[in-house]
Amino acid sequence: MTDDIISRERAAAPGALRRRIGGLSDRALAWIFIVPTILLLLAINIFPLIWTIRLSLTNYRANRTNAELEWVGLRNYERILTDPDIWNSMQATAHFLVWTLVFQVLIGFSLAYLINKKFKGNDLWTTIIVLPMMLSPAVVGNFWTFLYQPQIGLFNYVVAFVSGVDPSSFSMIGDVRLAPWSIVIVDTWMWTPFVMLICLAGLRSIPDYIYEAAEVDRASRWRQFWTITIPMVLPFLMLAVLFRGIENFKMFDLVVQLTGGGPGSITELTSINLKREAFEKWRTGYSSAYAIILFVTVFGLASIYVKALNKVKER
Amino acid sequence: MNHSVTEPSRLQKWCAGILVVGYALVTIMPLAWIIATGFKSPGDAIAYPPKLIYEPTLEGYVNLFTTRSRATPETLAQLGPPETWYDAIVRQYDMVISGPSRYGERFVNSVIIGFGSTFLSIFLGTLAAYAFSRFKVPLKDDLMFFILSTRMMPPIAVAIPIFLMFRQLGLSDTHLGMILLYTAVNLSLSVWLLKGFIDEIPVEYEEAALIDGYTRFQAFYKVVLPQATTGIASTAIFCLIFAWNEYAFAVLLTSGTAQTAPPFIPTIIGVGKDWPAVAAGATLFLVPVMVFTILLRKHLLRGITFGAVRK
Amino acid sequence: MRRAHLAATAALSITAALSATNAQAADLTLCWAAWDPANALVELSKEFEAQSGHTMKFEFVPWPNFADRMLNELNSGGKLCGLMIGDSQWIGGSAENGHYVKLNDFFDANGIKMSDFIDATVTGYSEWPKNTPNYWALPAFGDVVGWTYRKDWFEKPELQAAFKEKYGRDLGVPATFAELKDIAEFFQGREVDGKTVYGASIYTERGSEGITMGAMDVLYSFGFRYENPDKPYDMDGFVNGPGAVAGLEYYKALYDCCTPPGSSNGYMSEGIDAFKSGQVALQMNFAFTWPGFESDANVGGGKTGYFVNPAGPDGDQFAQLGGQGISVVSYSEKQDAALEYIKWFAQPAVQAKWWEMGGFSCLKAVTLDPAFPQSQPYAQTFLDSMAVVKDFWAEPSYATLLQASQRRFHDYVVAGNGTAKEALDGLVADWTETFEDDGKL
């Protein structure tokens, strides 16, 4: 079909002469094509970033535009790094990050492994499993508060049905001990398919002949799993962890709808904490410094991780 | 041996199938529950134990699209019998419909902002992706990485200066402001994905066209673009889904005029927990994405990894 | 709404009395919370539309998001709202940052006298700085935290007997918080009409202002004061004094002993649900919820009783102020129409109808009317409560102050971290820091 188009277009094509006059040079065209994108990104990402850095050195408050602006140097940074509340939300974020990654990697890989057994209808079931990840976290998170209601909620009811405890005796988002797990459960439910899909791609990328060769060498299934499957899937798995790690470090919508940071401040992740500082307390200068610290953290961690990932890939 | 060593045995397939199907059933339960709750009466929705079998009603949907007020028996008597089926539903509770709700507007806002930003980010993204794919661009890798890195900022962190900037420019709570913002956020995805798709189109076609006297632009427009339609379409759907689902910017930067559905849906609950109406609102909002996901399933992996993994 | 038709006829007569001399009709948007009183105001405003020729639009946001979204709107200089019925604590910030139009000249020119309104509401909703004659709003909706109880349960002879046997006194409206807790404990987990019921529904919400409103409502009567009366912003020993500590301990004890399961994050709407569904015997809530109970199928028709916030251990008796004044937003292009609305709204006849439709009018001509206490079962309780109100800091930094108390209170009461003394000491530290940032300390 493409040949057809080309021959048709060829017949109608203008002469080479016109091309030289009317056509732009590749170089010019390249810039015309790229510049709008770069400009928009500069305007909406880089310019704000620089502005944030500037604001972070002041005591500016966005709700008091007529107050006098004062330069405070690095004092905002100093206050943030010595504030125990901020360390609490860093800890909450770390708990959330680590456990969601652990569960998602374990369940996601297992599912991928099972789906790779190519049973009948695996495509259909894979699509069904994938659904939660594409949905709006805010809308879904909001509905999960209903599922988590003691007594009337489906989650409590199912847990009660399986374990025999009274469904009104525990409150997933109201109890200090359970709340951190309530957000881990929903995030795992939503994002396990993401890890699963990437692992599945990894498993499918392993050529059959490697296993066949191992079989000839009489390597046990167990040994094949650890010496072939795992190393071959590892780069994929690490990529999945990178994506999930960055996303969950930024996590806001799902958790804000689920627990709003409560009870107390047990599930107040850094993004929620930052939102309170910036848009509820309106400490703009202070929260700008906070934002920069978060950005540097995620960027730094991601860069280190990417280096490690590249090493694994090289092997 | 009459089967390959890599082909799993029948028993293995059965076990794997049962486990995966089991997981799938558990995982769609919350979604099924949302859809089911939308068709419950408020009483059934909060029944204990949760009701699996109930008499379906459209009350949730009526409540979603209307505002209602309580009427006194005298007023009700004056009104006469309900004229429509939805009047009848509301009348059961001694209420009358006093007007439409905001849900319709918010949904339309989501559509406008979603499609507007998708169109823009695909337009800009295709141009940039083509240039990155075909031309020698100085600092190409750095520029590509820069584009990707814009995705690493936590939205709340960028929201502070954007809030101030929008306030200055009068873009707060406008459709245009949200379209530009979502376009910028989606550009990283569209450039990276589209570059992957365009890379896969053999350069030979364009070369042939160029030899035949096409300008570079004509070659791009008449040869490459038609070849890239599938890629562009699936990238567009990913951009659309992102804009559709976005919450953090929407909740901070919109209030009345341009508010989209995600910040609105949780507020439907209002005074007196009306879970069926929330579920109805969520269902209408989520089902289009479910349909798109099923259509997209072949390109899903590529989309979620910014083209880093191509099956 | 109640007697909407009567109201409409009365409206026409007022309309005729007032001259409609507007230069041109405008679309005027009024911003408020999404709740029952707002629906009543929509009905009431139809008269204004008919009279002035302006079209009214309404932007109502549910309570949990109300402050967030509206303050965002004001801080971003939004033109959406011509009229804002903003929460009482916003007044300081909105006055100092120029969000609201100062109304003194307008009041003078139109003969609107603040002395015609309930004193507490003028201080609470209109003045900034407090106790000075600088007005930024017209008191629009009087509100205060009070309690409802299941009168029908209190009247059951078997429950009365059981209560008397256990506590040695009659089951009745509690005069003190200690008595209130006894009653809540008595009902907790008890079978009433074949259903397990619970003691009390109280505010515990974390996200906006819920737990602060609830805890403060109790703390005031236990001896909590915001500051040294002789030295502004001196909080040590007042915010964290022994009375305040005892009050917060009481609030936690009440939460632990006597609330229904899953009450860790409840505010007004959760309270309404718990009470209407017959889950609780006592309910803490703002007065605005009361008209809704009277018309409810489950708890209406005399089944619900109302009482003023009880007294603390030393006999002090205060209640947390709610409610709002109506202000003109300075960024709006429709300020003339907005002022016209306020002028119309301030009329005694309109205020009388406002009360009749379920809006808590703040006009003395309405509330001091001899027929007022009998007009609704809750009317007297409302008047008595309004006499003992106190409000949260209305400082420009109120949002920051509120965030700190939300966190400290929720951490202690619901999450159970630390002691009451530690929570309040922490609060003093947080608030001191805020006032230092403001340059007030």
Task: Kindly tell me if the per-residue pLDDT of C6 is higher than 60.
Answer: no
Phi, psi dihedral angles at A175 (to 5 degrees):
-95, 135
Give me the pLDDT at residue B270, please: 63
> How do residues C272-317 score in pLDDT, each as one tens digit?
888 988 889 999 999 999 988 887 878 888 999 999 999 999 999 9
Q: In Å, how far are B65, B144, C343 from C15, measured between CA atoms?
A: 33, 67, 13
Q: Which among C184, C203, C180 is positioned nearest to C258, based on CA atoms?
A: C184
Query: For C148, which DSSP code?
Result: E
Helices (H), chain B: 10-38, 42-45, 59-65, 73-79, 85-91, 103-134, 140-149, 155-169, 175-199, 203-211, 216-218, 225-227, 229-245, 248-253, 261-264, 275-296, 300-304
Structure tokens at A255: 């958790």
Q: In Å, how far are A85, A197, A281, A286, B107 from A73, measured between CA atoms?
A: 22, 47, 21, 11, 45
Helix H or strand E encompassing C191: strand C191-192
Task: Kindly tell me if the per-residue pLDDT of C3 is higher than 80.
Answer: no
Residue numbers of B between 112 and 151 with CB closer than 8 Å to A:
124-125, 127-128, 130-132, 135-137, 143, 146-147, 149-151
Three-state SS string across A81-139, please? HCCHHHHHHHHHHHHHHHHHHHHHHHHHHHHHHHHCCCCCCHHHHHHHHHHHHHCCHHH
Q: What is the mean pLDDT of residues A239-251?
A: 92
Tell the burial category of C234 from Cβ atoms under 10 Å away from its Cβ (0-12, 13-18, 19+): middle
Tokens 């008597």 locate to B77
What do you get for the CA distance between the two ends of chain C, in Å? 50
CB-CB contact of A246 with A302 (8 Å): yes
CA angle C320, C324, C329 (to 5 degrees): 145
Give me the pLDDT at residue B67, please: 81
In this prediction, residue C16 has a pLDDT band, given cuts at 50, 70 and 90, of very low
CB atoms within 10 A of CB C194: 5
Give me the pLDDT at residue C383, please: 93
Q: Assign C138 to helix, strand or coil.
A: strand
Residues in chain A with CB shorter than 8 Å from the CB of B160 are 48, 52, 55, 62, 278, 284, 287-288, 291
Residues in chain B with CB shorter than 8 Å from the CB of A257 are 247, 266
Fold of A84-314: MetI-like fold (1.10.3720)
ipTM > 0.85? yes
Q: Which chains touch A (3 or more CB pairs under 8 A)?
A: B, C
| CATH number of the B104-304 domain | 1.10.3720.10
Tokens 């951490």 locate to C411
Query: Cα–Cα distance between B156 and A270 in angstroms, integer?
Result: 10
> How do residues A257-302 score in pLDDT, each as one tens digit?
998 887 888 899 999 999 989 988 888 999 999 999 999 998 899 8
- CA of residue C145 relative to chain centroid, distance: 6
Fold of C145-320: D-Maltodextrin-Binding Protein; domain 2 (3.40.190)
Query: Cα–Cα distance between C260 and A138 in angstroms, integer?
Result: 27
CB atoms within 10 A of CB A1: 6
| Tens place of pLDDT per residue across chain B (311 aa) | 344 556 788 898 999 999 999 999 999 999 999 999 999 988 888 777 788 889 999 999 999 998 887 676 777 888 888 888 888 888 887 788 878 888 999 999 999 999 999 999 999 999 999 999 998 888 888 888 888 888 888 888 888 899 889 888 888 889 999 999 999 999 999 999 999 999 999 999 988 998 998 888 888 989 999 999 989 999 999 999 999 999 999 988 887 788 999 999 988 876 567 899 999 999 999 999 999 999 888 888 888 888 887 75
Query: Cα–Cα distance between C31 and C37 in angstroms, integer?
Result: 13
Query: Cis bond leading into C229, ω under 30°?
Result: no
In this prediction, residue C149 has a pLDDT band, given cuts at 50, 70 and 90, of very high
Give me the pLDDT at residue C181, please: 96
Tokens 């003109």 locate to C328
Residue numbers of B between 228 and 247 with CB closer than 8 Å to A:
241, 244-245, 247
Query: Cα–Cα distance between C423 and C429 in angstroms, integer?
Result: 10
- Residue count of chain A, please give it: 315
CB-CB contact of C349 with C51 (8 Å): no
Query: Cα–Cα distance between A133 and B297 in angstroms, integer?
Result: 12
Comparing CB atoms, the residue among B163, B267, B273 nearest residue C61 is B267
Q: Kindly determine whether residue B271 and residue C80, on different chains, have CB atoms separated by under 8 Å.
A: no
> How do residues C309-349 score in pLDDT, each as one tens digit?
999 999 999 999 999 999 999 999 999 999 999 999 999 99
Give me the pLDDT at residue A94, please: 95
Bridge partners of C192, per DSSP, are: C195
A169 interfacial to chain B (CB closer than 8 Å): no
Residue numbers of A between 185 and 204 with CB closer than 8 Å to C:
none
CB-CB contact of B243 with B250 (8 Å): no
The residue of chain C with its CA nearest to that of B250 is C69
Residues in chain B with CB shorter than 8 Å from the CB of A49 are 153, 158, 161
> How do residues C61-116 score in pLDDT, each as one tens digit?
878 778 888 888 888 888 889 999 998 889 988 998 899 999 999 999 999 999 99
Q: In Å, how far are B152, C75, C202, C291 from C213, measured between CA atoms?
A: 38, 24, 10, 21
Task: Kindly tell me if the per-residue pLDDT of A15 is higher than 50.
Answer: no
Query: Cα–Cα distance between B268 and A138 in angstroms, integer?
Result: 13
> Read out DSSP for B128-187?
HHHHHHHS--TTHHHHHHHHHHTTTS-HHHHHHHHHHHHHHHT-TT-HHHHHHHHHHHHH
Query: For B80, which DSSP code?
Result: -
Give me the pLDDT at residue C80, please: 85
Statement: C4-144+322-390 belongs to CATH 3.30.2350.10: no
Q: Which among C77, C7, C67 is positioned nearest to C31, based on CA atoms?
A: C67
Mean pLDDT of chain A: 87
Q: In Å, how far are B138, C320, C373 from B125, measured between CA atoms?
A: 18, 56, 69
What do you get for the CA distance between the two ends of chain A, in Å? 42
Q: Which among A82, A113, A296 is positioned nearest to A195, based on CA atoms?
A: A113
Give me the pLDDT at residue C2, please: 39
Give me the pLDDT at residue B5, please: 57
**Which of the residue ranges A227-231, B74-78, B174-178, C255-259 would you say has the lowest mean pLDDT?**
B74-78
> How do residues C176-198 score in pLDDT, each as one tens digit?
999 999 999 999 999 998 888 99
Q: What is the mean pLDDT of residues C230-248?
A: 95
A144 interfacial to chain B (CB closer than 8 Å): yes
Sign of CA dihedral C345, C349, C350, C354: positive
CB-CB contact of A271 with B154 (8 Å): yes
Rounded to the nearest angstrom, the minimum Cα separation between B250 and chain A is 11
Mutation pick from A64, A83, A169, A284 vs chain C, by most beta carbons of C within 10 Å, is A64
Comparing CB atoms, the residue among C71, C263, C411 nearest residue A264 is C411
Query: Cα–Cα distance between C413 and B173 in angstroms, integer?
Result: 38
Three-state SS string across C304-363, please? EEEECCCECCCCCCCEEECCEEEEEECCCCCHHHHHHHHHHHCCHHHHHHHHHCCCCCCE
Q: What percent of chain C has pLDDT over 70?
A: 95
Give me the pLDDT at residue C399, please: 84
Q: Which among B185, B156, A56 is positioned nearest to B177, based on CA atoms?
A: B185
CB-CB contact of C62 with C208 (8 Å): no
Give me the pLDDT at residue B155, please: 86
Query: Cα–Cα distance between A146 and B146 in angstroms, integer?
Result: 41
> How do residues A17-75 score in pLDDT, each as one tens digit?
444 444 667 888 888 999 999 999 999 888 998 999 999 999 888 877 777 788 999 99
Mutation pick from C41, C72, C73, C205 vs chain B, by most beta carbons of B within 10 Å, is C72
Where along chain C do the CATH 3.40.190.10 domains lie? 4-144+322-390, 145-320
Give me the pLDDT at residue B213, please: 87
CB-CB contact of C241 with C427 (8 Å): no
Name residues whose C-beta falls within 8 Å of residue B210's C-beta, 6 or more positions apart in sequence: A19, B216, B219
Name residues whose C-beta falls within 8 Å of residue B74's C-beta, 6 or more positions apart in sequence: none
In this prediction, residue C23 has a pLDDT band, given cuts at 50, 70 and 90, of very low
Name residues whose C-beta falls within 8 Å of residue B105's C-beta, 6 or more positions apart in sequence: none
Helix H or strand E encompassing C56: strand C55-61
Give me the pLDDT at residue B141, please: 87
Strands C55-61 and C83-87: unpaired
Locate the domains of chain B by residue range: 104-304
In this prediction, residue A5 has a pLDDT band, given cuts at 50, 70 and 90, of very low
Task: Kindly tell me if the per-residue pLDDT of A248 is higher than 80.
Answer: yes
> How do residues A185-200 score in pLDDT, each as one tens digit?
999 999 999 999 999 9
In this prediction, residue C21 has a pLDDT band, given cuts at 50, 70 and 90, of very low
In this prediction, residue C200 has a pLDDT band, given cuts at 50, 70 and 90, of very high
Structure tokens at B138: 């100085």
Q: Kindly determine whether residue B167 and residue C76, on different chains, have CB atoms separated by under 8 Å.
A: yes
Task: Kindly tell me if the per-residue pLDDT of C19 is higher than 50.
Answer: no
Task: Kindly tell me if the per-residue pLDDT of C15 is higher than 70.
Answer: no
Mean pLDDT of chain C: 89
Q: What percent of chain A has pLDDT over 70?
A: 92
In this prediction, residue A155 has a pLDDT band, given cuts at 50, 70 and 90, of very high
